[in-house]
């Protein structure tokens, strides 16, 4: 049994080419990772989706080009690591599987979600094979086990967004893993299978989630997420020059952050890690020595505002009904509609006769949702909104916070705000065109001036 179990995940940019793979392998080795999960090589999942669409449209000529490019890209990387026939045959078999599936989709001119997951799984299955070769070449003494993640990550059959079966995963992990300091398991993020054996995926960007599931299943000491930025920043550096790296953040704060458009972490990633109190490290495989960000249950420093997250393309949806006057169950009905359509609502405010919620603008196209809401009142939309979330500590009990916040915003109009549900966040909805300036002013006031 290794002393410490470290689960490390490397994203697509850390798998971009042979140099990125070597860099990532060195980090995994330095960190004594016990399990490494990888994403598909950079851009490959998008290419696989393009291949599916092209095949569905019946354009086999373009499919062949896409297949050719994918073949070239992966064989080019392989050639840097080995000339052995065994891995070459394995890569050939995966590409053959891809071609056969594409051909099937082309012939049928349709792609079921089950078939889609099978196609998408090939991205991670190819990259993990290549990464294991990079690792073996650099560290020949290590016992490298290339593990099929589907032997552990058992899910339901909700293809393209499958839900993990936590208890089964824990049981499988016990059967599969035999840790030792000389051994490293290399496997795929993003993919799983149903109990009946059909390949599933956890949704786009799901490899962080996979990593957290593995960490939870083996009771890891640390979960590491290696990406192309050196941790989480206090806000988007493209908006705000003063953005600084965050060295530590609590689970509570990070969870609020993930929901409001901080792209670094998948929103649900932390849940399995949090349940087991596993510290999560986020770092850059391009700057392996940079400090990165630690996400933990308990943190030393608890600033009032640690970070500002922004989410663009929001709409404010209002349901107005005179019936709400004293009506019991109105809110329940409305939220049932959202839940039936599996739509997550970010912010909510109510008045006597109306409820307003902020949602992704794309939901305006959701005709069935609107129709169901209309059963309870008049529905209207305001678009061109952006949500700003201030994330920190003691937000509910700090005197003068609202005064300072509105002073900093100056003349900028706040269309809606949500405060009160959590001591860790304060949300504002502002016009998209004011959003960047608002973030800059708030960042200066609450983060830069508080150092």
Size of the site for Mg ion (CB under 5 A): 3
Among 73, 172, 204, 445, binds ligand ASP (CB under 6 A): 204
CB of 49 to ligand ASP, least distance (A): 9
Q: Cβ closer to Mg ion: 206 or 392?
A: 206
CB of 134 to ligand ASP, least distance (A): 18
102 binding partner (options Mg ion, ligand ASP, none; Cβ < 5 to 8 Å by kind):
none
At residue 32, what are phi and psi to the nearest 5 degrees? 60, 40
Among 40, 101, 119, 416, binds ligand ASP (CB under 6 A): 40
d(C-alpha 134, C-alpha 136), whole Å: 6
As given in the structure block, the two tokens for residue 107 are 């012939």
What ranges in 109-162 are assigned the alpha helix state H? 113-138
Which residues in 124-163 contact ligand ASP (CB under 6 A)?
none
d(C-alpha 434, C-alpha 412), whole Å: 7
Among 39, 227, 385, 427, binds ligand ASP (CB under 6 A): 39
231 binding partner (options Mg ion, ligand ASP, none; Cβ < 5 to 8 Å by kind):
none
- Residue that the structure tokens 């060295």 belong to: 247
Residue 128 near residue 81, CB atoms below 8 Å: no
Q: Cβ closer to ligand ASP: 45 or 389?
A: 45
206 binds ligand ASP (CB under 6 A): yes
d(C-alpha 382, C-alpha 358), whole Å: 9
Q: Cβ closer to Mg ion: 105 or 215?
A: 215
Which residues in 107-126 contact ligand ASP (CB under 6 A)?
123
d(C-alpha 228, C-alpha 282), whole Å: 10
DSSP designation for 245: B
Stretch that binds ligand ASP, among 38-46, 287-295, 343-351, 367-375 (CB under 6 A): 38-46
d(C-alpha 362, C-alpha 32), whole Å: 43
Q: H or E segment at 87?
A: helix 85-108
377 binding partner (options ligand ASP, Mg ion, none; Cβ < 5 to 8 Å by kind):
none
Among 13, 134, 155, 207, binds ligand ASP (CB under 6 A): 207
CB of 161 to Mg ion, least distance (A): 15
190 binding partner (options Mg ion, ligand ASP, none; Cβ < 5 to 8 Å by kind):
ligand ASP
d(C-alpha 400, C-alpha 402), whole Å: 6
Stretch that binds ligand ASP, among 201-209, 300-308, 315-323, 346-354 (CB under 6 A): 201-209
At residue 381, what are phi and psi to the nearest 5 degrees? -125, 150
Q: Cβ closer to ligand ASP: 12 or 261?
A: 12
Report the chain's C-alpha Rg in angstroms: 24
Which residues in 165-194 contact ligand ASP (CB under 6 A)?
189-190
Distant-in-sequence, close-in-space partners of 296: CB < 8 Å, separation ≥ 6? 248, 249, 250, 251, 279, 280
Residue 54 near residue 22, CB atoms below 8 Å: no
Residue 184 near residue 36, CB atoms below 8 Å: yes
Which residues in 9-28 contact ligand ASP (CB under 6 A)?
11-12
Positions touching ligand ASP (CB under 6 A) are 11-12, 39-40, 45, 123, 189-190, 204-207
Positions touching Mg ion (CB under 5 A) are 11-12, 39
């Amino acid at each position: 049994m290794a002393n410490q179990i470290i689960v490390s995940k490397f994203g697509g940019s850390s798998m971009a080419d042979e140099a990125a793979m070597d860099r990532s392998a060195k980090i995994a080795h330095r960190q004594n990772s016990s399990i490494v999960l990888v994403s598909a090589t950079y851009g490959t999942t998008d290419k696989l989706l393009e291949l599916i669409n092209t095949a569905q449209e019946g354009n086999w000529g373009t499919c062949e080009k896409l297949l050719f490019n994918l073949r070239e890209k992966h064989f080019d990387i392989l050639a840097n690591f080995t000339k052995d026939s065994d891995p070459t045959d394995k890569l050939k078999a995966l590409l053959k599987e891809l071609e056969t599936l594409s051909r099937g989709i082309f012939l049928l001119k349709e792609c079921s979600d089950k078939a889609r997951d099978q196609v998408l799984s090939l991205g991670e299955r190819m990259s993990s094979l290549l990464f294991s070769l990079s690792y073996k070449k650099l560290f020949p003494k290590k016992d490298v086990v290339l593990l099929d993640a589907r032997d552990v990550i058992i899910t339901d059959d909700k293809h393209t967004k499958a839900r993990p079966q936590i208890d089964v995963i824990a049981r499988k992990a016990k059967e599969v893993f035999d840790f030792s300091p000389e051994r490293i398991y290399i496997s795929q993020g993003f993919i799983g299978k149903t109990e009946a054996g059909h390949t599933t995926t956890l949704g786009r960007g799901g490899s962080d989630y996979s990593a957290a599931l593995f960490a939870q299943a083996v009771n890891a000491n640390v979960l590491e997420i290696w990406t192309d930025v050196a941790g989480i920043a206090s806000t988007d550096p493209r908006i705000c020059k003063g953005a600084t790296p965050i060295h530590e953040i609590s689970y509570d704060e990070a969870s609020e952050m993930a929901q409001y458009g901080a792209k670094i972490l998948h929103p649900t990633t932390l849940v399995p890690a949090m349940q087991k109190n596993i510290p999560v490290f986020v770092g850059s495989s391009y700057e392996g020595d940079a400090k990165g960000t630690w996400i933990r249950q308990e943190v030393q420093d608890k600033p009032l505002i640690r970070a500002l997250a922004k989410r663009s393309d929001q709409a404010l949806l209002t349901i107005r009904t005179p019936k709400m006057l004293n009506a019991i169950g109105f809110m329940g009905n409305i939220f049932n509609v959202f839940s039936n359509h599996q739509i997550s609502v970010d912010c909510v405010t109510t008045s006597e006769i109306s409820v307003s919620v902020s949602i992704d603008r794309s939901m305006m196209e959701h005709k069935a949702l609107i129709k169901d809401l209309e059963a309870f009142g008049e529905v209207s939309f305001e678009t061109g909104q952006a949500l700003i979330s201030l994330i920190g500590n003691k937000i509910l009990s700090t005197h003068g916070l609202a005064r300072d916040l509105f002073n900093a915003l100056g003349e900028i109009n706040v269309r809606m705000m949500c405060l009160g549900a959590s001591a860790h966040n304060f949300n504002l909805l502002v016009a998209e065109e004011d959003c960047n300036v608002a973030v800059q002013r708030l960042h200066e006031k609450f983060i830069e001036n508080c150092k």
